[in-house]
Amino acid sequence: MFCMKRSLSRLPLLALMLLLFTYGRTPQNNWVKLATRTVGYTVDHSEVVIDGLNENLNALKVKVAKGAINLHRCVAYYQNGQTQDIDILNSIPQGGESKVIELPRSDQSVTKLIFVYDTKNRAIQKADIEFWGRK
């Protein structure tokens, strides 16, 4: 009887451990950093080569630090040779991130992305940009 009470008293602790273990493994947390760039004061672009991912990307987002940018568009290059031009038109403040950019062809493997942007209002400070993809 004593052993059964002791086992039952551990049940909430085991449930909490299981919850904490599985929390970071949910699908919405499958973001991987693809590249980081420091950008200057004019309209510019960044080419991000996708290498070594075992799964296709289904969404993108851009995070900005030390400055602000205007994100204009993205061109996705697929393994089968097709390209897709994605208009974004998103103003991202310092410390912010873009909206989630869904990739309509998530069943195909992306090999390269080109992002076109400019620093917001010709800012004096260069911006650090992180490009993220969701598997």
Task: Read off the pTM.
Answer: 0.71
Question: Would you place residue 27 in the very low, low, confident or very high pLDDT band (cuts 50, 70, 90)?
Answer: very low
- Per-residue pLDDT tens digits for 79-113: 889 999 988 888 898 899 999 998 887 778 899 99
Instruction: Report phi then psi at 133, rounded to 5.
Output: -130, 145
CB 98 within 8 A of CB 72: no
Q: What is the CATH number of the domain that holds 129?
A: 2.60.120.1380
Q: Which residues constitute the domain of residue 45?
A: 31-134
Q: Quote the tokens at residue 117.
A: 């942007």
Contact 118, 43 (CB under 8 A): yes
Res 97: pLDDT: 94
Residue 47 falls inside a structural domain: yes
In a domain, 12, yes or no: no
Q: Answer whether residue 14 is part of any domain.
A: no
In a domain, 4, yes or no: no
Asked, for residue 24, whether it belongs to a domain, the answer is: no
pLDDT (0 to 100) of residue 29: 73
Q: Compute CA 72 distance to the chain's CA centroid, rounded to the nearest angstrom.
A: 17
The pLDDT value recorded for residue 129 is 92
What is the DSSP secondary-structure string of 85-103? Answer: EEEEEEEE-TT-BPPPEE-
Burial zone of 17 (CB within 10 Å; 0-12 exposed, 13-18 middle, 19+ buried): exposed
How many domains does the chain contain in total?
Answer: 1
Does a structural domain hold residue 19?
Answer: no
